[in-house]
Amino acid sequence: MATSVASRARGGSLDDPFAVHMAPPAGETSDQRTARLAAAQNADKTSRQIDEVLLQSKKILDKKKADVKILLLGQSESGKSTVLKNFRLRFTPQYFDGERAAWRMVILLNLIGSLRVICETIESELESPEFSLVSDLHRQRCADLAPVLREEEIINQLISPSKQLLGELYVRPGGEWKTILASSEVAQNSASVVLSMRDEIENFWADTAVRELMEKKEIPIRDGGGYFMDDVARITEADYVPTDSDILRARIKTMGVEEHFFEKESASAARGVKDFWIYDVPGQRGSRAAWIPFFDMVQAIVFLTPLSFYEVLEEDTRVNRLEDSVILWKDICANTLLQNCQLILFFNKMDILKAKLRAGLIINEYVPSFADRPNTYIGATTYFKEKFKAYHKRSSPKPRSFFYYETTAVDTRSTAKIIGAVHEEIFRKHLHDSVLI
Q: What are the backbone angles phi and psi of residue 324, rounded to the nearest 5°?
A: -65, -40
Which helix (H) or strand (E) covers residue 348, if one does? strand 342-348
Give the end-to-end CA distance of the chain in Å, rounded to a whole number: 74
Please name the amino acid found at residue 101.
Answer: A
* Binding annotation for GTP: 77-82, 248-254, 280-284, 348-351, 409
* Binding annotation for Mg(2+): 81, 254
Whose CA is closest to 81, among 220, 244, 221, 252?
252
d(CA 214, CA 121): 8
Whose CA is closest to 299, among 70, 20, 62?
70
Answer for the pair 363, 309: CB distance below 8 angstroms, yes or no.
Answer: yes
d(CA 248, CA 68): 24
d(CA 163, CA 153): 9
Q: By CB neighbour count within 10 A (0-12 exposed, 13-18 middle, 19+ buried), where does 257 fall?
A: middle
Which helix (H) or strand (E) covers residue 177, if one does? helix 176-183
Sign of the CA dihedral 221, 227, 228, 232? positive
> What is residue 250's three-state secondary structure?
coil
* Binding annotation: 77-82, 248-254, 280-284, 348-351, 409
